[in-house]
Amino acid sequence: MNIIIVGDGKVGYTLAQFLSKDGHDITIIDREQRALEKASETLDVMCVKGNGANVRTLLESGVDTCDVIIAVTGNDELNMVCCLAAKQLGAKYSIARIRDPEYTESLTMLQDKLDIDQVINPERATAQEISRLLRFPFAINIESFAHGRVEMVEFRVEASDPIIGIPLSKLHGRYPHIQFNAAQRNGEALIPGGSFAISAGDRLYATGDRESITRFFKHLGKDTQRLKSALLIGGGHISYYLAKIIAGMGVHMRIVEIKEEKCTHLSELLDGVMIINADGTDQEVLDSENVGECGALICLTNRDEENLITGMYGARRGAKKVIVKVNRLNTMEVMEDLGIESVVSPKLTTANVILRSVRALNNSRNSVVEKVYGMLGGKVEAYEFTALEGAGYLNIPLNRLGIKPGILVSVLVRNHKNIIPFGDDHIEADDTVILTAKAGTVINLEDAFDGTEIRKK
């Protein structure tokens, strides 16, 4: 597809990087020459210097023949105007990043009047990601598929867990509704086979329906109790959205914000949330708020260093769950080395949501990709496909389809029921197929199979 990205900041650059690897033709528009030079030198993209809302600049970039325009500058209004102008000039699909909460209530009308096909709010999407993480304090990441029917939970295996040393082929007998679809050991990302035996320290993904997942972790002795308290450091947009999302769940929530005017504003917007005007990165303040006894410490200031130090202090004091926000993507691996495993990034979340949407537009005639989820630092990806009528891989047992190495058919969802598939199972039309694969190996569902049995059919 021909894709135009307006804005060559961290989000725009990350999108260009991944989408160019997917084989799309990418054009980047930005006013900053230095940013464009970096993109031109390191990526296989075309760069145009100028204003993305300027008709001449858009036409020079080929907007009249582009399939998707993505406006991710730091200015909401500019992003909206870019999309409006691009659609009028012939762009087929438009995506705009809009961050200001004041636009949230009128987004539907804005999208309709400005002909914007999709709006992504980074802070709101990050708050939704955090709300999922709060369900299990021990989880590193949680993602849902098939409209919530399938959950994928990443966790660290402990020496006391009763699954240590047991091959997956035997574990499937004990937990028939759970699929173990990805692992990381000594920094290596793996798609584990039946002979893979779990070791202490592994990062493991367990996948299944919500009830089975909860039962599995209860059997491991993990804490599956509902969160009772949360301490948020920083009173920005993410804190506001998160408070709104978990309102009414019985969570005792406190927000610590250093700026008095922000505290006043939040207290007017949020009922039932304690707003504290103080420096949340100060250890005395944290101790006075009993950080070691809170269910979750969520560090959401605008400075990565402050979030890291505050998170480390909370973890040392005994906070059950620590979540840290970062702005610089290259600090995420450093966080893990320092013991902070649950890390969120609005920029990366924005890029991932847009990537999923673009990939979903690029469907084959045999399958529709509904979702793509990056795992283990982007080394592995989980895909959600819908199998279409007439596809050659339908109704053939999986053990005869010739599934390629490094790929696992994790879950089938058929008639609202989950199936953990084995060799004799098959894919039917309209099935939701959850696939796990090494990053970059799959674009369409048919890419998972070698095609020998399909050609015979």
Q: What residues does each domain of the chain span?
A: 2-120, 126-131+227-349, 135-219, 357-456
H/E segment holding residue 360: helix 346-361
Q: Which fold has domain 135-219?
A: Alpha-Beta Plaits (3.30.70)
Do the first three CATH levels of 2-120 and 135-219 match, i.e. the same topology?
Answer: no
Per-residue pLDDT tens digits for 393-419: 999 999 999 899 999 999 999 999 999
Distance CA 437, CA 181 (A): 9
Contact 132, 144 (CB under 8 A): yes
Contacts of residue 266, defined as CB under 8 A and 6 or more positions apart, other chains included, come to 235, 239, 240, 255, 257, 273, 275
Q: What letter would DSSP give residue 345?
A: -
Comparing CA positions, the residue from 240, 271, 300, 9 lying closest to residue 104 is 240
Class of domain 2-120: alpha beta
Tokens standing for residue 30: 């930005």
User: What's the pLDDT at 358?
Assistant: 84
Provide the total of helices (H) and of strands (E) in the chain, helices listed first: 16, 22
Task: Provide the β-strand partners of residue 231.
Answer: 254, 297
- pLDDT for 444: 84
**Residues whose CB is less than 8 angstroms from the CB of residue 318 and which lie 6 or more positions away in sequence, other chains included:** 292, 293
Q: What is the predicted pLDDT for the residue at 200? A: 94
Quick one: how far is CA 293 from the chain centroid? 29
Kindly report, residue by residue over 352-389, the tens digit of the pLDDT.
888 878 877 776 667 788 888 888 877 899 999 999 89
Q: What integer pLDDT is reported at residue 363 of this predicted model?
A: 64
3-state helix, strand, coil in the chain (%, to 5): 35, 25, 35
Residue 329 and residue 14 in contact, taking contact as beta carbons nearer than 8 Å: yes
What is the sign, positive or negative, of the torsion defined by CA atoms of 169, 171, 173, 178?
negative
Helices (H), 22-106: 33-42, 55-60, 76-89
Q: If you ran DSSP here, which 8-state letter would residue 46 be given?
A: E
Longest CA–CA span in the chain (Å) reads 71
- Please give the torsion angle defined by the CA atoms of residues 146, 150, 151 and 152, in that order, rounded to the nearest 10 degrees: -90
Q: Rounded CA gap, 407 and 386, in Å?
A: 17
d(CA 360, CA 351): 14
d(CA 289, CA 281) in angstroms, rounded, equals 12
Top-tier CATH class for 126-131+227-349:
alpha beta
pTM of the model: 0.80
State the Cα–Cα distance between residues 361 and 244, nearest whole angstrom. Answer: 31
Compute the distance between CA of residue 447 and CA of residue 307 in angstroms, rounded to an integer. Answer: 41
- Give me the residues of the chain with pLDDT under 50, please: none
**Residue 342 corresponds to which tokens in the numbers above?**
């649950």
Which two three-digit tokens encode residue 31? 């006013």
pLDDT for the residue 2: 94
Tokens describing residue 133: 């993480």
CATH, range 357-456? 3.30.70.1450
* 400, two tokens: 């005869």
Q: Which helix (H) or strand (E) holds 151?
A: strand 150-156
